[in-house]
Structure 1
């Protein structure tokens, strides 16, 4: 690495991860009886690309593993060896070893604890066992920068790997198969199977969305174009922060000029309107850069389900829906661990063994479904299973054992959230998957830390359904500014159905309760007061004549009483937990045009707070 190539290490690590993801996804979709030739070619090319790129940087352990791996893969795709079940397991082990090596190289530590020799020997043993000639190709002893020739792929007319090569040049008469089998260079994208064949619902995954390489270098005198570039996340985050500050500055200018006479300062107002329009377009364009398809998370779960089910002796089918739904990269990063824990719990606690399912009149193969979709300006991610469901009795018994105040006649909607209590577990035995009383409380904490909410529902013998509601982005939102007790609050615009001034004929009192409802177009809605929800010291104004917002959250519609409507505004979201502490009913804060701080209301949580009667207000 003493000839100026350190600058390319970051690109290598990213592309190697993409190749490993592609390799794993393709392995999990293979039909053992009739493997798809394109999938086999894609798996081979992924291994071959990693071998070539790692050889450039002198990562000999990675190069050695991928060389033996591609030797076996080449014999499988050429029909010399028939694909076996045990090969898939060893291929996945090799993939895990390569991932461990990558982590070690990135951390600049020697890979002494990575089982390189063991997995290489297992791959070599498969070659020796199933090769028709019973002759194994010896592993190469050293890999030079330009030495990428594989004995098993000698018919491919491979070129040396150049520093800026993104494809291996092919002669004009090259066949289609020659082109497919060509060595992939350092800047190549992960190989993907071609065609429109839809994957099996068992592992219903979509190819990883990655940057496409630009066209080859053109002759002198013509300009080359690139369809994409790689930009560090730090630069994107810095750009988003600057756009956020621009939004705040624009709001300040709008407030400062609000007292001016539009007739006398028409040109100023025209310029401000144009600035508002341009700022909004710039914000939307910049935010779209951080939006990634949720397939970045979903694509790892076929492997998670396969490994967990095999370890527990269960048969589980995974069905994925909505993989192209996009959300902020920051949300995706916080969502990965909670979803992994939920899926493992579904298989461990929910899905029964094949014998238990058959005895219960169910198919022996259980089903876990994962889906993502947009709802009211938020992303909803759902995980459900058709297992045995949660046991009220065991949850209540465990709660009583831990000293939690519960009663046997509690509704299910209050029983299920008990599993999110710290240290709560109903597992009878402790395993490496569950039973230690940690996990679900961390799941909820991670979800709420990004302004999300998690809900659970279950039925005995039918299964469990978990819904996670998340913000589209962690940066900017459109909001309605409301005033309560001379303090400004922000209501996300996506929750607002309408606003109205309450008249006496709208208002009704609940018999035997201090609660009130209002009638809007023959529909009765509960009336909540923001004064009461936030435990403000002052009394709320009389309901009659006050301003109410009709809000819809999670399928529930209710009315929220406020003092005044200030106006609609785009606001920059600042994390309250990072700068202060978590407050029930508040999802974040923002800086207003006059420099003051306004709290952003968590509309999903308001009905729950009303049911509890109190809010934890600062």
Structure 2
């Protein structure tokens, strides 16, 4: 058996265990730590150690062994937690992650870093509990119960021997196929000596002689099979059965004193006395950690003797993307067939029409089901920020409470991975610039502890992610002064929304000094650019003294788009339906000329920039008379525009094809799709289209002195009385 086949499974599960470990460490109350949380952290380290030992990842095994022993002291109450100790545990978790990444990439972990973390853990153990971690956990204190208890049976003696890390036990494989069973038996052979094999596919038992504890065997095997397919129990070896009567003859009567009863404790099974323990296993001595889990596993196994099926499978993202792409092609083909059938005589082809209707419905359901595979909860993103907030607040000397809302809200996996960096910048910005120092908050009548909220929710075809702080809010005058200092073109007549957007200008920062948190003016412009690259936009709302809300609006997925088909000349284009607000036919009374050849459209007391699509994209044969066109009111980056088009064709769901990957970047266009007739339609980028239109108008204008321009003078066009 090639054990490397299981590497990736180990890496993925170890990564999940480390994420759980970090979450529990951040949630720990150092004054009154939760025992269950401490046990969960310990079990995570123990499981990783078992797998690392099996696969020969020595550095990872050594680090987790020391960490595990230290955690064992903690959960037994021998090591009192403090904030700095939790910081050390978090640092160890980071080191384990680095070591895991190194092994995953086929490299050896950093030896210097490994030695440093080992020294740190050893020093902590020596200072706090006066123990050396190299030899494992210290011996357990003598139990107060008298030794003159009823004589244990051979089975219980064997069970104790196995639990202490040595002896013979039965490993039962439940509902494992023959091919997989052979691999598992071979793997067990690497953990000890296989004495006997028996049973069938329903229940196949392997008698194993090993010095490894049950927990270590289970930790290793659970990287290969499900826990429900594994059952470990002690077997009374013949030597132990024969030794039992002899031991009972030599044992003193129950009424004798504990001191006289000592010889009874020496009559352990031969397998135990002959095999020195390789290393103590703290997990086997914690009844609250191990005992409840075993009966639960056995109960499941007995209820389903054939083995229970796993409720989930691990699938490569590439395979999922391939399926999504094929389903997209299926949708395109279905649209082509649907368009062809619509041109046929309905009554004469009733069965065909009904069949196409059923195909359309099933294709839509299939598409939604496949797309849901890529959707993962926002908890995947939010779970990273307790650590960020904790460390950043510590550097800044601030007290911060983090609140998360809408963790179950789902978003496309590709977007969740891309939103993490922008969201991290926004969170750090709120902590540094938004929330005040504790003394300043107290002086302003606020609680010393600031509140930072991360929330997510669905709204139409979008997901709304908000970063909310209860800090001092944005200072309009300070932002304008800083913008002028940086040479930006600003004026006092700018709206609050426009002033707030200044923080996204390249190189813009209001920090008084450069620190390792902020002050260089790098990051916020990248945030805006990255969010726009995901088809989203950022809105800022702020009230002085009350706080700031930064809202990110993103599409749920980039693979499928609900769009509105529009026609300009003979060309078909797609507008994202989430950006479309309304449509209307403009009249001359509603159209106004600006300085130069700019035109605005008045819609309910709001003047919207007019963008003629045919001019921006050089489409021939389009309508040029403004009052004959249709104005589609759209929104992009928090601003509204009026797009002039010839006709509205209808709404449809389209499969998004990356134009930049397959061709090149086209200004004013975000992507492309294939229509039902096989033709390619461009998906328009609202903001990019407006910028393209402005650039072309500027290029057409003759150069004039700035003094001759009447900035923002509004003149009515010819109006009919």
Greater relative contact order (Cα < 8 A, sep 6+): 1
Aligned to 2:19: 21
Aligned to 1:592: 675
Instruction: Decide whether aligned partners of structure 1 residues 446 and 581 sit closer, same or farther in structure 2, where only a CA change above 3 A counts.
Output: farther
Q: CA deviation at 1:263?
A: 2.1
Describe the superposition over 1:385-415 as per-residue Cα deviations: whole angstroms up to 9, x where unpaired.
Answer: 2223334344334433443322233222222
Is 2:559 the counterpart of 1:489? no
Distance 1:525 1:566 in 2: 27
Aligned to 1:138: 134
2:561 pairs with one of 474, 477, 483 = 477
Distance 2:652 2:345 in 1: 21
**Between 606-615 and 532-541, the greater mean CA deviation after superposition:** 606-615
Describe the superposition over 1:259-284 as per-residue Cα deviations: whole angstroms up to 9, x where unpaired.
Answer: 22222222222222222112111111
TM-score (norm 1): 0.81
Aligned to 2:422: 338
Instruction: Decide whether aligned partners of structure 1 residues 254 and 562 sit closer, same or farther in structure 2, where only a CA change above 3 A counts.
Output: same
Instruction: Decide whether aligned partners of structure 1 residues 378 and 573 sit closer, same or farther in structure 2, where only a CA change above 3 A counts.
Output: same
Instruction: Decide whether aligned partners of structure 1 residues 527 and 304 sit closer, same or farther in structure 2, where only a CA change above 3 A counts.
Output: closer
Describe the superposition over 1:26-66 as per-residue Cα deviations: whole angstroms up to 9, x where unpaired.
Answer: 11111122211211111111111111111111111111121
Aligned to 2:365: 281
The answer to whether the 8 A contact 2:231-2:298 is kept is no
Distance 1:476 1:176 in 2: 54
Aligned to 1:245: 329
Aligned to 1:300: 384
**Between 15-24 and 104-113, the greater mean CA deviation after superposition:** 104-113
SS at match of 1:405: coil
SS at match of 2:217: coil
TM-score (norm 2): 0.70
The answer to whether the 8 A contact 2:611-2:641 is kept is no
Ranges in structure 2 where 5+ consecutive residues have no aligned partner: 138-188, 193-210, 235-283, 700-721
The answer to whether the 8 A contact 1:156-1:182 is kept is no
Q: CA deviation at 1:606?
A: 9.2
State how 1:317-332 maps to structure 2 within 5 Å: 317-332=401-416
Q: CA deviation at 1:565?
A: 2.4
1:84 pairs with one of 76, 82, 95 = 82
Instruction: Decide whether aligned partners of structure 1 residues 46 and 368 sit closer, same or farther in structure 2, where only a CA change above 3 A counts.
Output: same
Normalized per residue, the structure richer in helix is: 2
Instruction: Decide whether aligned partners of structure 1 residues 581 and 375 sit closer, same or farther in structure 2, where only a CA change above 3 A counts.
Output: farther
Distance 1:358 1:606 in 2: 46
SS at match of 2:381: helix
Distance 2:298 2:420 in 1: 31
Distance 2:608 2:87 in 1: 58
The answer to whether the 8 A contact 1:328-1:472 is kept is yes
Distance 1:466 1:114 in 2: 42
Aligned to 1:390: 474
Q: CA deviation at 1:609?
A: 6.8
Instruction: Decide whether aligned partners of structure 1 residues 137 and 405 sit closer, same or farther in structure 2, where only a CA change above 3 A counts.
Output: closer
The answer to whether the 8 A contact 2:536-2:637 is kept is no
Aligned to 2:117: 119
Distance 1:472 1:324 in 2: 14
Aligned to 1:128: 126
Aligned to 2:215: 158
The answer to whether the 8 A contact 1:528-1:558 is kept is yes
**Between 374-383 and 411-420, the greater mean CA deviation after superposition:** 411-420
Distance 1:402 1:43 in 2: 50
Instruction: Decide whether aligned partners of structure 1 residues 363 and 48 sit closer, same or farther in structure 2, where only a CA change above 3 A counts.
Output: same
Distance 2:380 2:566 in 1: 38
The answer to whether the 8 A contact 2:336-2:677 is kept is yes
Distance 1:533 1:176 in 2: 77
Aligned to 1:181: 290
**Between 103-112 and 234-243, the greater mean CA deviation after superposition:** 103-112
State how 1:169-318 maps to structure 2 within 5 Å: 169=231, 178=287, 180-181=289-290, 222=306, 224-318=308-402
Distance 2:13 2:112 in 1: 21
Distance 2:667 2:510 in 1: 28
Q: CA deviation at 1:308?
A: 0.8
Instruction: Decide whether aligned partners of structure 1 residues 215 and 60 sit closer, same or farther in structure 2, where only a CA change above 3 A counts.
Output: farther
1:564 pairs with one of 629, 647, 659 = 647
Distance 2:542 2:190 in 1: 57
Instruction: Decide whether aligned partners of structure 1 residues 442 and 558 sit closer, same or farther in structure 2, where only a CA change above 3 A counts.
Output: closer
SS at match of 2:520: coil
Is 2:447 the counterpart of 1:363? yes
State how 1:371-382 maps to structure 2 within 5 Å: 371-382=455-466
State how 1:504-519 maps to structure 2 within 5 Å: 508-509=589-590, 515-517=600-602
Instruction: Decide whether aligned partners of structure 1 residues 276 and 499 sit closer, same or farther in structure 2, where only a CA change above 3 A counts.
Output: farther
1:69 pairs with one of 67, 88, 105 = 67
Aligned to 1:190: none
Describe the superposition over 1:59-85 as per-residue Cα deviations: whole angstroms up to 9, x where unpaired.
Answer: 111111211222122222223333222
1:452 pairs with one of 523, 526, 536 = 536
2:31 pairs with one of 15, 30, 33 = 33
Aligned to 1:352: 436
The answer to whether the 8 A contact 1:530-1:562 is kept is no
| Structure showing greater Rg | 2
State how 1:518-529 maps to structure 2 within 5 Å: none
Distance 2:615 2:445 in 1: 50
Q: CA deviation at 1:313?
A: 1.5
Aligned to 1:97: 95
Instruction: Decide whether aligned partners of structure 1 residues 182 and 74 sit closer, same or farther in structure 2, where only a CA change above 3 A counts.
Output: farther
CA RMSD of aligned residues (A): 3.9
Instruction: Decide whether aligned partners of structure 1 residues 503 and 512 sit closer, same or farther in structure 2, where only a CA change above 3 A counts.
Output: closer
The answer to whether the 8 A contact 2:324-2:371 is kept is yes
State how 1:424-439 maps to structure 2 within 5 Å: 424-439=508-523
Distance 1:355 1:615 in 2: 54
Q: CA deviation at 1:333?
A: 1.0
Aligned to 2:6: 8
Ranges in structure 1 where 5+ consecutive residues have no aligned partner: 148-153, 186-212
SS at match of 2:52: helix
